[in-house]
Structure 1
Amino acid sequence: MSFTWFRPEGPLRTREQIAREVHAVSLARGLDELATVIALMTISTEVGTGTGDNRKWWCPANDRVPATKNFPHDSKSDDNRSSGYFQQQPGPNGEPWWGTPEDMMTLSRAANTFLERLDDGYSAAANSPLMAGQFAQRVQQSAFPDRYAEKWDEAWTVLRRALNETPTTPEVPMPVSGDPVWLEDVLREALGDRLIVEDGWQTRGNGNGENGTDQMGPIWGVMIHHTGNDRETVAGIRDGRPDLAGPLSQCLITPDGKCHLIAVGPCNHAGRGSYPGIPTNMGNTRLIGFECAWPTIRPDGSYDAAQRWPDAQIITMRDASAAVLKRLGYDSAHVIGHKEYAGASQGKWDPGNIDMGWFRGEVQKDLDGFVFPGEHPPVDPAPGPVVPPDYAKETWDQLRIEWPQLGGRTLVDTVAAIGAKLGIEGCYDTKATK
């Protein structure tokens, strides 16, 4: 493994955090701790640095696969075209051997792919570092097959420490269920005056909720759409069209960067489709929809599929998505395009020419606190003067002492004496009257 850059702050995750996340994937697949250990042996071999307690596991991007840099990473490598914790790579002609760049750079997805390919007979390695390394090698096909076994002890130590620190259940936020009545507050904080709240939004939805209600179910994340017309109106999204009743999404984001909050309940925006983590055909009740007014329609009804999105619109799409995901406790993997959910079932291609991998990368930067060009980081107020603990006593002493250099007068008496000398009515010198 050859690293070319490390993030100064260090790895994205500790070894224990990585172990817990990988073990959560193992549990979800019905596997045991041994499967997790084989995966951790692989990670340590592929991306580990340091020795002993100072050892670290990294998530490198690779300049030879530029899309990997769109996702959270803490390092870079120039090891062929390999990237991520498992150093997975595309085929020689770009074939998705290990999935998309996002799959390779997302720990849970990369671990799932590794464990999916782990031989069912791996349990034979229960007490054998050598055999465990061989099972790892069958998946990885490394040029250095003997190195995996060397990480047996480290993998077990890290996993046991990780599982003793927290429960073995997956570390995921509690799902937020029901209508997102918090949308106005969350979007206002993120967007300021870019948010326009439409009358009646708090009671608007299509009425087709989950479990016989008119409410949203557990909210999985955000779906990005384009309207097919950059002149789309609030009324069009609110009321729908002849073939599809409104509301068509919770929000409409216009080319000028304004976000119109239109509805709170389920909306007719996702329709038929599926995506990992979202039950089939349940996008309307599991996803908050952002309809984005794009592209420009020419007089003859045609449009430019390569039309550039307005900066103001993209920025609001990013900020609004990040705000919702922050409220839900999710990372940028929970914002998807309509085409990723309904491309196969409905032939959808929205949001147009936006690369959703790139967009998720921008949303993640926002979630991580990145300061984008033109933004200003919060400035801490300048510290005030340091007041000594005996400040009040010192002040009182200064006022009441009869100072020799003032003729035995206090400060107040001195001011009064000066006033008397100047002929100011009511002022007198206490020493002159004695």
Structure 2
Amino acid sequence: MAQPLSAADVVAALRAEGVAVVQVGSWRTHNRNSKGAWGPVNGSVVHHTVTRGTARTVAIVRDGYADLPGPLCHGMIAKNGQVHMVGWGRTNHAGGGDPAVLAQVVAEDYGTRPSPPTRGNKDGVDGNAHFYGWECENLGDGKDPWPADQYDAIVRVQAALCRAHGWSAKSVIGHLEWSNDKVDPRGFTMASLRADVAERLTHPASWNPSSTPTTEDDMDPIDVWLYKGKGETSDAYAYLRNTKAELDQVRTEVTALRKDIAALTALVKKG
């Protein structure tokens, strides 16, 4: 357990880790503290937003909805890797979750992932009191890509918090690992993210790898299809789709050539 970092301390920790921080309005005093406790904190939860467009997404996570007031997280990690700080204190991000998972996170005692949650938003313990929350701009359909800059920022944000509190990467969980009625984040696995956070924690905060480490084991099938090689603009699925289209075109042209050859052969025989 730990007392939450101050707003000034979290900004310093993020910037030391190489995170580009955008401070949105009066984020340092924008919170839901009047509705319950925030802290001691035990870890950090990663979410996806199910939105498109950074400006719109920032507005949503800052202001919330009619039935769920903002802020909906502490910071929103955009596609370009910038982290927009929208609130500090208690925020409406984690909701109810499994007390067994909380115990495992507190003890940092589990394998590659916590035990599957059996409780959710309606019957779980209050996660908003125990966790930092980070929304990540993504449609959450398993197809919307995670740009390298964004994924790197997610790793850096989580490493900054773990470094500041002396936590291991096992203090970082996904919303789907906390609550049995959530699926976020989709498009990468938390096991692979924790592996990358753990790797980063073996280096100083100023570490800038030439390329973001990736872990291929335990990845969802969609990750393979969304893979892009270095310098490539198309993912694996796009290449497969384009290759099929080109193959179909070749088949059409070969069929036409065969007809032309047959016609020429007939003419030769007549001559």
Q: Which SS does the other structure have where 2:18 is aligned?
A: helix
CA RMSD of aligned residues (A): 2.0
Shift of 1:218: 1.2
Q: 2:29 aligns with which of 180, 195, 203?
A: 203
Shift of 1:234: 1.7
Q: Any conservation in 2 of the 1:179–1:264 contact (CA below 8 Å)?
A: no
Amino acid at match of 2:196: E
| 1:270 maps to 2:99 | no
Q: Which has the larger radius of gyration?
A: 1
Distance in 2 (CA, whole Å) between partners of 1:326 and 1:204 is 25
| 1:239 maps to 2:83 | no
Shift of 1:179: 5.7
Once the two structures are aligned, what percentage of the paired residues are identical? 30
| 1:366 maps to 2:200 | yes
Q: Any conservation in 2 of the 1:205–1:263 contact (CA below 8 Å)?
A: yes
Q: Which SS does the other structure have where 2:97 is aligned?
A: coil
Amino acid at match of 1:238: R
TM-score for the superposition, normalised by structure 1: 0.40
Distance in 1 (CA, whole Å) between partners of 2:125 and 2:5 is 18
Distance in 1 (CA, whole Å) between partners of 2:62 and 2:208 is 34
Assess, with a 3 A threshold, how the Cα gap between structure 1 residues 225 and 304 changes in structure 2: closer, same or farther.
closer
Q: 1:186 aligns with which of 4, 10, 13?
A: 13
Q: Which SS does the other structure have where 1:267 is aligned?
A: coil
**Where do 5+ consecutive residues of structure 2 fail to align?**
107-123, 213-271
The residue that corresponds to 1:224 in the other structure is 46
Runs of 4+ in 1 over 4 A off after TM superposition: none
1:19-73 CA distances to partner (integer Å, 9 max, x unpaired)?
Answer: xxxxxxxxxxxxxxxxxxxxxxxxxxxxxxxxxxxxxxxxxxxxxxxxxxxxxxx
Distance in 2 (CA, whole Å) between partners of 1:235 and 1:290 is 15
Q: Which SS does the other structure have where 1:230 is aligned?
A: coil
TM-score for the superposition, normalised by structure 2: 0.64
1:174-215 CA distances to partner (integer Å, 9 max, x unpaired)?
Answer: x322464321111121135x11112211111112232xxxxx
Distance in 1 (CA, whole Å) between partners of 2:208 and 2:149 is 16
Distance in 2 (CA, whole Å) between partners of 1:333 and 1:351 is 16
1:139-168 CA distances to partner (integer Å, 9 max, x unpaired)?
Answer: xxxxxxxxxxxxxxxxxxxxxxxxxxxxxx
Greater relative contact order structure (CA < 8 Å, 6+ sep): 2
Structure-to-structure mapping, 1:113-262, within 5 angstroms: 175-178=1-4, 180-181=6-7, 182-192=9-19, 194-207=20-33, 208-210=35-37, 216-231=38-53, 232-262=56-86
1:309-345 CA distances to partner (integer Å, 9 max, x unpaired)?
Answer: 1111100000011001110110100000000001x2x
Shift of 1:374: 4.5
Distance in 2 (CA, whole Å) between partners of 1:264 and 1:276 is 21
| 1:291 maps to 2:138 | no
Shift of 1:223: 0.4
The residue that corresponds to 1:26 in the other structure is none
Distance in 1 (CA, whole Å) between partners of 2:168 and 2:72 is 25
Q: How many residues align?
A: 185
